[in-house]
Structures are given as C-alpha cells and as structure tokens.
A and B are shown apart, each in its own frame.
Chain A
C-alpha cells in the first residue's frame, strides 16, 4: 500500500512536468508543424529565471509568474526572427531549432557557468497521505501544473482564440481563406508553447539541479509523448506524457532507474510502430 501511494505520487510528479513540456511541444507541432528541438533549453531558461530572481531577493512565487512571461516573449521573438521563415520547410525547421538549442545552451553556460545552481524550496513541510509522507512542495507542483493544464484546455476550447486555432488545426488553407491571420496565430502559439516549457522549468527549479542541459532529460520523452498522443490532439500529448511518465516511474521502482528509462523508450518505439495514429482515439474534428 505504501509503495503504491509513493508510486502514484512520484508518477504524478513526473507526469505533471512532462505533460506541461509535451503540451507546449504539441501546440507548436500541431499548429506550425515545427518540431522544436530547442524546447529543452526553454525549460532551462525558465529554471534560470527563477535562479536569477530569487538571488535578487524576490520570492519564489513572483519568479513563478515571471518565468512563463520570459518564455512567451522569447518564444515570440524566435518565431518572428527564425521560425516564421521555416513553416513550409519542416525539415529545415528541425535543423534550425537544433542549431538554436546549441546556441541557447552555450549562452546559458557562458552566463551562469557549467556548475549546477539550486533554488531553496519555498515550502519545506511534508504532506502525509495514508501514512506516506511526501514533500509538500512536490504536491503543490502537481496541483499547480494540473491547474495550468486545465486552464490551457479551457483556453483552447472556450476562447475565440482557441476556436480559431482549432480551425487552423483542421484545415489551415480554409482558415486562411476565411480571413484568419495565420502568422499572428503562429506567433502566439509558439510563444504559448515556449511559455509552458519555461513554466515547467520554473516549477522544477527548487527540486532539481539547474543546469544548461537540464531540459534534455525531458525533451526525448516529451517528443515521444506528443507522437504517441497523435500529432494534432492536445489531450493526446497529456495522455502520452502520462504513459511515458507513469511507466518510467513504475519500471524504475520495480527494477532500476536505468531500466525505467530504457524500458519506456523501447515500449514507446513499439507503440509508435503499432499505433502510428497515437494512443488517443477521437473523432477527427476534435482538437482538445
């Protein structure tokens, strides 16, 4: 029983972070058709934003609000300068974001050094659930991440912006013919995706070693989560993240952490091969 509860909590923690990252990737891939290889560096940028602000003496919660804004602005800038030129060249978009990832990572390294930074945890207590004590801060991360995901879905389903995005998902040409300024939506969607990544990074900062390459650990599984979920369904990205995160923690607890990583990647390859349309089966018209 104890091990079951700690498994659920550990899995929920990894899944909530992975979901945010995968959701950001999924928004960008779904709308722009761009595989953003620099997504991991945006996680790191979110975490470093927290490092800088808390070192300036600001409370963690302020930093938590600023980090996604930094991610959003940076993402929109990148879209306006680089990605905009590449939306009809998907392969070159992969290459440019690969280059971008090298550049961002090295810039972070030059700025903050290659040694790990850390952020003091803003909440120190533990949380008792049926006899298992778990850091309260991690519980808070799970709650906040879930809330942000729910907000993102509401935004895509209910807002007029979200409706237009769904229209572009379904049929870009028809949407553009009907007067949608696709460029504007691309920019906001890219910014939203990078904001989610930066937010994930800022949530991670107090419980992880903040390093320029910290995002690489999440990027691979998040990509696979997006593809598992089916490329144009946002809920699919979350389902994929749940599959990847839950299974990794389960195999990792049962055997070793290495087997957790290896096993989940092998299973992901098999799932992509067997169900190329993704794990979530939904009518074509639905997006979120």
Chain B
C-alpha cells in the first residue's frame, strides 16, 4: 500500500499550489494549450493535421480514464467500450437514419451514458470495487466487441461502417461545417477543450474532492456522510460521457467506425497512455497520449508491426522506475528542488 501513501503526499503538494496562484497557473496552461492548438493547422501538413486531430481525440479519452482511475481510484479496462459505443452510435444514426448535427452528438453521448449509469449503478451499489471492478469492465469490453462484430445488419460486422458523414453544427442562423479538412481538426480540438474544461471543473469542485477522498479511504468518506456508491457511479457515468463524445467525434473525423475502436487492445493502450503520463494528473493523460501516439507512429514507420513491442517495454520501464508517470516524476523533481532551495514550500517534505 506504499503507492497510495505516495499518492496522498504528492497530491497534497499539488494542493498547496492551488488557490489563486494555482488558478492563474491553470488558466495560463489552458491558454498556452489553446495557443498551440490554434497554431498547428498553419504548421502541419494536411496529412499530419488529421493525425493530430486523432491524437487530440485519443487524449480526450485518456482524460476520461484519468477521472475514473486517477481521481476516483477505479481502474477500468472498459474505456474503449464507451469510446466505441459512442463512435458506433454516431455512425449508425448518421449512415442509416441521416441524423446529424446536435442530435447525433447528443446520441453519441447519451447511449454510453445510459449504459455506464446502469452498469455503474449495478456494480457500485453491490460493493464491486478495485480488481473485481476492473475484471467486470474487461468482461464488458469483450461483450461489446462480440456484439459489434456479430450484429452485422446494424454495425457492419468486421468491416464496420464506412463513409460516416462529417458533422455540421447549426448555431441559430449560422452553422459550422466540421466536415472539411481543417474543420475536422477544429472539431477534435473543441472536443479536447470541452473535455478538459469539464474535468478541470471536477478537479476544483467538491465533487472531485469527494472522489479523491473515496480513492484514499472509502470508509472514511462514507463515515463523513457521503454516499460513496453514488459518487463512484457519477464518476463512471461522466467518464463514459466524455469517452462517448470522443468516440462519436472520432467516427466523424475519421469517417468510419470499426471494431478495433471497441476492443480490449485499445482499452489497454488508453491505460498505457494514462499510466505513462502520470495517472494522478490531468496533464499526465495529455502528455502520455501525445508522446505515446507520436512514438508509436514513428516506430511503426520502420518496425511496421512490432511497435507494440517497444511500447510494451517502455511501459514496463516507466511503471517500474516512475510509478507516478512522467508528469508525476517532473512534479517530484520540481518539489524537491523547491524544498532544497528553502523556498516557501520547504515544509512540504519531498519523497
């Protein structure tokens, strides 16, 4: 249980930097992110721009897992299930019923939300937690994958659905066309920012603090009068909502929905992104996804099929040597230096 102790300590150091100062810093980081996102289209080639768009959406899923795993302490192998269900919901209503616009976005979010709420309510109120929860989410992604592959008449089976329409969102008299090449990138960037802002709100809200309390010691949180099962169900549902939104928009950006958007391998990949970046930090999910997607892409250009080998090795090394991930390790180094210099936060003992 030493890991948990380390988490608490590191988190408390993070808490110290909150308040007015932290708000300014968070605002600055988001502004910098928006700046980078705005510059990318004029720097990248059209091909790389779509690649970047996909990374931004993957990062959104990673953020959604960070909420459930890093903040609420429940590891899910099923994040790809909600991503894929969002993608298929969007693709099915788009290709079969000609539904687009806000309604299709709503459906891509609502279907996974409904499923997550039912599953989460069923599990968390039955005291299913930790390893048991992880295994059940693994079963869930296996079920979803089987259904998608064999329900050919609706999902297209192994080939999935192609020529999924892009998204056009009406705003009163105007409408924004997200189906053009740059439009798809801006859609991905918007999805990421929406997800990030929601999760930043969670981090600063009492809801997020109760989730952290449950992660650190559920009994204590329950003694304080919080209905922990409701909080966990809510976290699971919100996480599925963001994953589903990301999935639906991924289908729109890449114009297809395929079974590999909804399998255990993608679930595990999402897990590696979050773990490598740092599971206790929102920035960790972002950094981990960007680094690992670019790394995978670079490796696959000369190792064709064996990039999972390198990813796997890298992942093992990071978990063994830096259990807090890249961002966690950087935070630790920074805190240690601050303490050594006898700064204001010298009382925060570094590990």
Contacts of B315 in A (CB 8 A): 95, 98-99, 102
Main DSSP-derived SS at the A contact region: helix
Determine whether the beta carbon of A276 is less than 8 Å from that of B128: yes
Query: How far, in angstroms, from A216 to B265 measured CA to CA in the complex?
Result: 10
Determine whether the beta carbon of B305 is less than 8 Å from that of A109: yes
Determine whether the beta carbon of A94 is less than 8 Å from that of B146: no
Query: How far, in angstroms, from A273 to B119 measured CA to CA in the complex?
Result: 11
Query: How far, in angstroms, from A35 to B138 measured CA to CA in the complex?
Result: 13
Nearest opposing residue in chain A for B267, CB measure: A98
Interface membership of B301, Cβ < 8 A? no
Contacts of B128 in A (CB 8 A): 272-273, 276
Q: Do A265 and B143 form a contact, CB below 8 Å, given A95-B319, A99-B272, A272-B135?
A: yes
Interface residues of A in 238-264 (CB under 8 A from B): 256, 258, 261-262
Contacts of A100 in B (CB 8 A): 312, 316
The CB with the most chain B CB atoms within 10 A, among A91, A96, A216, is that of: A91
| Minimum CB–CB distance for B104 against chain A, Å | 27
Interface membership of A269, Cβ < 8 A? yes
Interface membership of A282, Cβ < 8 A? no
Contacts of A110 in B (CB 8 A): 306, 309
Query: How far, in angstroms, from A166 to B308 measured CA to CA in the complex?
Result: 38
| Minimum CB–CB distance for B1 against chain A, Å | 7
Contacts of A92 in B (CB 8 A): 3, 319-320, 323
Determine whether the beta carbon of B3 is less than 8 Å from that of A91: yes
Determine whether the beta carbon of A276 is less than 8 Å from that of B271: no
Contacts of B110 in A (CB 8 A): none
Interface membership of B295, Cβ < 8 A? no
Determine whether the beta carbon of B323 is less than 8 Å from that of A265: no
| Minimum CB–CB distance for B236 against chain A, Å | 14
Interface membership of B105, Cβ < 8 A? no
Query: How far, in angstroms, from A98 to B123 measured CA to CA in the complex?
Result: 24
Interface membership of B42, Cβ < 8 A? no
Question: Which of A98, A114, A224, A261 contacts B271, CB < 8 Å?
Answer: A98
Contacts of B75 in A (CB 8 A): 91, 94
Determine whether the beta carbon of A273 is less than 8 Å from that of B135: no
Determine whether the beta carbon of B143 is less than 8 Å from that of A227: no
| Minimum CB–CB distance for B121 against chain A, Å | 11
Interface membership of A101, Cβ < 8 A? yes
Interface membership of B268, Cβ < 8 A? yes
Determine whether the beta carbon of A258 is less than 8 Å from that of B132: no
**9 more A-B residue pairs beyond the given contacts A224-B135, A261-B146, with a C-beta to C-beta distance below 8 A:** A94-B131, A95-B271, A96-B319, A102-B311, A103-B308, A103-B313, A103-B316, A110-B309, A272-B136
Residues in chain A within 8 A of chain B (CB atoms): 35, 82, 85-86, 88-92, 94-96, 98-103, 105-107, 109-110, 114, 216, 220, 223-224, 227, 256, 258, 261-262, 265-266, 268-269, 272-274, 276
